[in-house]
Structure 1
Amino acid sequence: MTSPGRTERLVLPGVLTAEQAAATVAGIVAVQRADGAVPWFRGHHLDPWDHTEAAMALDAAGEHDRAERAYDWLRRHQLPDGSWYAAYADGDAGAPTDRGRETNFVAYPAVGIWHHFLSTGDDAFLERLWPTVRAATGFVLELQQPGGQIGWKREEDGTAVTDALLTGSSSIHQALRCALAVAEAVGEPQPDWELALGQLGHAIRCHPDRFLDKARFSMDWYYPVLGGALTGPAAKERIEEGWDRFVVPGLGVRCVSDRPWVTGGESAELALALWVMGESERSVEILRSIRHLRAEEHGGMYWTGYVFEDDAVWPVELTSWTAGSILLAVAALGGDEATTAVFGGERLPAGLEPDCCLST
């Protein structure tokens, strides 16, 4: 098991003790394969976004070698066009099970790679992974639409899906900022990316009509804040507007507004968004509300969700990314420097922004 001494920034009263944090980290370590891949759980599939989130949690816990192996898995499995498939099977072969290529999945490794560099100061790692970031970002920006939003995927046959998702584009907003930070650090500035980032941020803030209507999903509610596109009064207004629709006091955050189902991942991400806004007390309150999802009898991992009308865990799965999201939220609240830099965003490039209809 990971030593409690290595998880000191993952201690949060009422949420995690040092021993509990160490157990959760050990649970993620147990899921990681020898080749570095981190599936949802053993026997299930891997996707590049959740794989990256788990790797970031490993870095926050001081498991830097394991995190580096996760990023090297991405480097080795990157496709010639810069993308990754949407899903890979668990097991030694790791064959793709979904050959679509989703833009937010492809963009997100830049966040983890920058987080790892900030965690370790490893210049050689950043130089080695820079071509991975550059190629992935190129793939993503090929699907940027004239209005700034990002089409959400390419089909298996290469057909571009130009419809945009607000959650996905908001995640890409954060990823582009991290990709630009990587580019600056290796001495290869990318002015076209700065313009693309500015256009994307403008679309998120000012043109909700450019995105598919997924307003019943809580991620569409908080992701513009979590991804750094909405800040200040605009962020506060958005969170307050949706609070009663999505937050179930004492239980967590609904995944979908019209279903009696709270989920650990969405709850932890909202906690991160609240921390970004400077509302640490409410952030801690959300994390404490999902203690009921912790499965001590299963190594301190977390159930994905809970249907409160039925008093039932559902689905019956303990996912690496749920545990990872909770550890990252706690790391931000605990002041872990790399985690606060990546999610706080104060030192991340802002992009070249056109005039916007909102003051943020």
Structure 2
Amino acid sequence: MTVVPEVPGILTADQCAATGAAIAAMQEPSGALPWFPGGQTDPWDHVESAMALSVTGFHAEAEAAYEWSRRTQRADGSWPIRTVAGRVTDANTDANFCAYLAVGVWHHLLVTGDEAFARRLWPTVRAGIDLVLRFQAPSGQIRWGGAHPLPHSQDRAAPTSPHTDVAEVRAVPPGMFDDAMLTGSASIHQALGCAALLAEAVGQPQPRWVAARDRLGHALRAHTDRFLPPSDHSMDWYYPVLGGAVRGEQARELIAARWDEFVVTGLGIRCVDHRPWVTGAETCELVLALDCLDDHDRARQLFADMQHLRDPDGSYWTGLVYADGKRWPVEKSCWTSAAVVLAADALSRTSPANGIFRDADPYSAPVFDTADLDCACAHV
């Protein structure tokens, strides 16, 4: 029997179970978990919602979601950016979306111990991660996406050892967009770590993935100029911490630097720094990032602050425009409810996977040489 997370004084186990049930009720017959009934499905939020189903004991529904991912993966290892009711409405590729299945499958294995499930999904995870590594630049960052289908004629993985000629792979591969985004790359950092652990669990170690993660982490810590400048969205603020690339004093300084821009006392955090709009998912992700830093008091307070978005049916509204007291958009999003469950699990230390974000910092000493990145700095 699944023990459902409970955060005393904030969220009861029954309430958390009701949130899991609300997510399950939004699942389409195909297994897809859309943003809301009748809305779009994207591969990243779909996986996040499946993770919440695992935590709340809806294991069959979670596995149906992962089967949807397995069935809908394209031959090159990618998924469409957006699907609505089974119809592809944006066929292009987002590297972060393709990486995140690794987090979900590793998470479900930790929760259930189901090795047969992990082995069944392993080829899908492997194909997705191999596709993502095509987007890694020689200097470590991950290009955010590309047009579908990507050409195959110049496939080239980023260098993984001092013996690789950096100059010969410096050009942007055909079909890929040149820009790298902080949030997406930070999320991929976590995904590469989970993928490497999954590979070990199924007996197929992938040192190349570990090296790719370490090069990406180095770029996120020491070379943020290789990414698009941080935007006015809160995700660009806390995601390097949430994805495990930035920890310790550097992480605490990063969080402190923009705290007053985003945190609204008693309500949660803004999605965009200049708008009077707080959102539940971003607030819960900041809760998770603070939990990674052992900043438990502020994490619990923010988790309590965002509960005004809870609906009596157990689901959560996406956000609130606090200037006029109106919920916007007028939707109860699957992924907002999922973020609440995952934050509750982390705060309460309930499921065997409660540390999926807390443990996302590097699992080993870097296995690359910074010379590989055309980089003069020391190991970090």
Does TM-score exceed 0.5, indicating one fold? Answer: yes
State the distance in 2 between where 1:253 and 1:342 align.
22
2:322 to 298, 308, 313: 308
Residue 131 (structure 1) aligned with residue 145 (structure 2)? no
Deviations along 1:135-194, whole A, 9 cap, x unmatched?
Answer: 000111101011100000112353211210000000000000000011111111112112
2:23 to 25, 28, 36: 28
1:352 to 356, 361, 367: 367
State the distance in 1 between where 2:360 and 2:316 align.
31
- Contact persistence 1:56–1:67 (CA under 8 A): yes
Answer 1 or 2: which has greater helix percent. 1
Q: Give the aligned partner of residue 294 of structure 1.
A: 310
1:41 to 11, 36, 40: 36
Residue 73 (structure 1) aligned with residue 68 (structure 2)? yes
The amino acid that maps onto 1:196 is: A
- Contact persistence 2:309–2:316 (CA under 8 A): yes
Q: Give the aligned partner of residue 208 of structure 1.
A: 224
- Contact persistence 2:190–2:360 (CA under 8 A): no
State the distance in 1 between where 2:251 and 2:351 align.
23
Q: Give the aligned partner of residue 336 of structure 2.
A: 322
Matched residue of 1:253: which SS? strand
Q: How big is the shift at 1:320?
A: 0.6
State the distance in 2 between where 1:248 and 1:330 align.
20
Q: How big is the shift at 1:127?
A: 1.0
State the distance in 1 between where 2:106 and 2:335 align.
19
State the distance in 1 between where 2:248 and 2:330 align.
38
State the distance in 2 between where 1:264 and 1:279 align.
19
- Contact persistence 1:206–1:358 (CA under 8 A): no
Residue 223 (structure 1) aligned with residue 239 (structure 2)? yes
Residue 247 (structure 1) aligned with residue 239 (structure 2)? no
Residue 119 (structure 1) aligned with residue 111 (structure 2)? yes
| Cα gap change, 1:236 to 1:358, in 2 (>3 Å) | farther
Q: Give the aligned partner of residue 83 of structure 2.
A: 88
Q: Give the aligned partner of residue 280 of structure 1.
A: 296
Matched residue of 1:96: which SS? strand
Q: Which runs of 5+ in 1 are unaligned?
A: none
The amino acid that maps onto 1:317 is: E
The amino acid that maps onto 1:330 is: A
Deviations along 1:204-226, whole A, 9 cap, x unmatched?
Answer: 00111111123311101100000
Query: Moved runs in structure 1, 4+ residues, more than 4 A?
Result: 353-360
- Contact persistence 2:196–2:205 (CA under 8 A): yes
The amino acid that maps onto 1:168 is: G
The amino acid that maps onto 2:178 is: T
- Contact persistence 2:52–2:342 (CA under 8 A): yes
- Contact persistence 1:178–1:348 (CA under 8 A): no
Matched residue of 2:355: which SS? helix
Q: Give the aligned partner of residue 59 of structure 1.
A: 54
State the distance in 1 between where 2:56 and 2:62 align.
10
Matched residue of 2:261: which SS? helix
Q: Give the aligned partner of residue 110 of structure 1.
A: 102
Q: Give the aligned partner of residue 6 of structure 2.
A: 11
Matched residue of 1:262: which SS? strand
Q: Give the aligned partner of residue 140 of structure 2.
A: 148
Q: How big is the shift at 1:354?
A: 4.4
- Contact persistence 1:9–1:334 (CA under 8 A): no
TM-score in terms of structure 2 length: 0.88
Deviations along 1:8-64, whole A, 9 cap, x unmatched?
Answer: 442112321222212211110100122211111111010110000000001111211
Q: Give the aligned partner of residue 212 of structure 2.
A: 196
Q: How big is the shift at 1:330?
A: 0.3
Matched residue of 1:151: which SS? coil
| Cα gap change, 1:262 to 1:358, in 2 (>3 Å) | farther
The amino acid that maps onto 1:249 is: T
- Contact persistence 2:4–2:17 (CA under 8 A): no
Matched residue of 2:356: which SS? helix
- Contact persistence 1:328–1:339 (CA under 8 A): no
State the distance in 2 between where 1:14 and 1:248 align.
21
The amino acid that maps onto 1:62 is: G
How big is the alpha-carbon RMSD for the aligned residues of Structure 1 and Structure 2?
1.8
Matched residue of 2:177: which SS? strand
State the distance in 2 between where 1:160 and 1:347 align.
28
The amino acid that maps onto 1:237 is: E
The amino acid that maps onto 1:120 is: T
Q: Give the aligned partner of residue 92 of structure 2.
A: 100
Q: Which runs of 5+ in 2 are unaligned?
A: 151-174
Max Rg structure = 2
Aligned residue pair count:
350
Q: How big is the shift at 1:346?
A: 6.6
Q: How big is the shift at 1:234?
A: 0.8
State the distance in 2 between where 1:281 and 1:359 align.
33
The amino acid that maps onto 1:202 is: H
The amino acid that maps onto 2:210 is: E
- Contact persistence 2:181–2:228 (CA under 8 A): yes
Q: How big is the shift at 1:338?
A: 3.3
